[in-house]
């Protein structure tokens, strides 16, 4: 299994044609998963999607290839790992991050996950987020 320790990630950069093609291939699954994850987390941890809580599902998932703003690629023995940062048009300055796996051609890309972050504060309480800002960097993540 690929991990941050076993692969080297390239530098963050604007998406090139191959990344856009791969993103296009996973876009239907990404939209479906985004709505599903918001629905599931709203039951227990609504903080994940709090910055976009006023958006409808249609507004949240109204993303296209032009909203892919930044990518990083890592190569492993069995394929490419594409990490992407997508701006939500209905909430300017709000981003989601995803990870996809590409075993061969860009069209074979599969969505691996949408990035969720859980951090523990000094008082033991936790912060949860799935919506990121422009300054949040695209790093390796498993979930």
Predicted structure pTM score: 0.92
Give the pLDDT confidence of 93-143 residue by residue, as tens digits: 999 999 999 998 878 999 999 999 999 988 989 999 999 999 999 998 987
**H or E, element range at 43:** helix 17-44
User: Is 36 among the domain residues?
Assistant: yes
Residue 106 maps to a domain = yes
Residue 138 counted as domain residue? no
Mean per-residue pLDDT over the chain, rounded: 94
135 within some domain: no
In the predicted model, is pLDDT for residue 6 greater than 70?
A: no
Domain range for 45 is 17-129
Neighbours of 137 (CB within 10 A): 10
Residue 89 lies in a domain: yes
pLDDT at 4: 58
| pLDDT tens string 86-106 | 999 999 999 999 999 999 887
Best CA proximity match to 111, nearest among 27, 2, 47: 27
Output the pLDDT for position 142: 85
Is 143 domain-assigned?
no
- Please count the structural domains in the chain: 1
């Amino acid at each position: 299994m690929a991990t941050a320790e076993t692969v080297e990630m390239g530098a963050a950069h604007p998406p090139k044609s191959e990344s856009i093609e791969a993103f296009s291939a996973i876009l239907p699954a990404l939209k479906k998963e985004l709505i599903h994850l918001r629905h599931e987390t709203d039951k227990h941890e609504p903080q994940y999607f709090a910055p976009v809580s006023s958006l409808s599902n249609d507004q949240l998932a109204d993303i296209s290839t032009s909203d892919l703003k930044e990518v990083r690629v890592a190569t492993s023995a069995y394929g490419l790992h594409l990490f992407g940062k997508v701006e939500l048009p209905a909430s300017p300055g709000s981003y989601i991050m995803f990870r996809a796996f590409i075993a061969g051609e860009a069209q074979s890309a599969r969505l691996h996950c949408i990035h969720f972050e859980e951090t523990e504060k000094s008082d033991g309480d936790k912060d949860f987020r799935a919506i990121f800002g422009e300054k949040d960097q695209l790093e390796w993540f498993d979930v």
